[in-house]
Each structure stands twice: as structure tokens, then as C-alpha cells.
């Protein structure tokens, strides 16, 4: 099951960032790791715009 609660994020991030990644994964139905990758790519794209 994707986005299952037993899945964990193996990154050193703040609790707030972890919560956002977990919520995004649950909302979109993708794995937590996939959500982390997508959100990281989004952040990189935003930084390149600046």
C-alpha cells in the first residue's frame, strides 16, 4: 500500500518538513520517498528561478 503509515522517511529533516512530505504522499497516493523526491525537485526549480 502506497503512503502506508508504516513507511518512514529516512532523511534528516525538521518535523515540519517531514509532516508536509507525509501529508503530500497521503494526499496524492504516492510513496513517502517519491513525495520527498518530487518536493525536492520543486524546491530546486524554485531556487533556479531566483
pLDDT of residue 12: 84
pLDDT of residue 27: 95
Give tens-digit pLDDT for 1-50. 555 556 677 778 889 999 999 999 999 999 999 999 999 999 999 999 98
Query: Are 33 and 48 a contacting pair, CB within 8 Å?
Result: no
Amino acid at each position: 500500500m502506497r503512503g502506508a503509515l508504516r513507511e518512514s522517511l529516512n532523511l534528516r529533516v525538521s518535523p515540519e518538513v517531514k509532516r508536509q512530505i507525509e501529508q503530500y504522499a497521503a494526499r496524492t497516493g504516492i510513496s513517502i520517498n517519491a513525495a520527498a523526491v518530487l518536493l525536492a525537485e520543486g524546491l530546486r526549480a524554485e531556487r533556479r528561478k531566483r
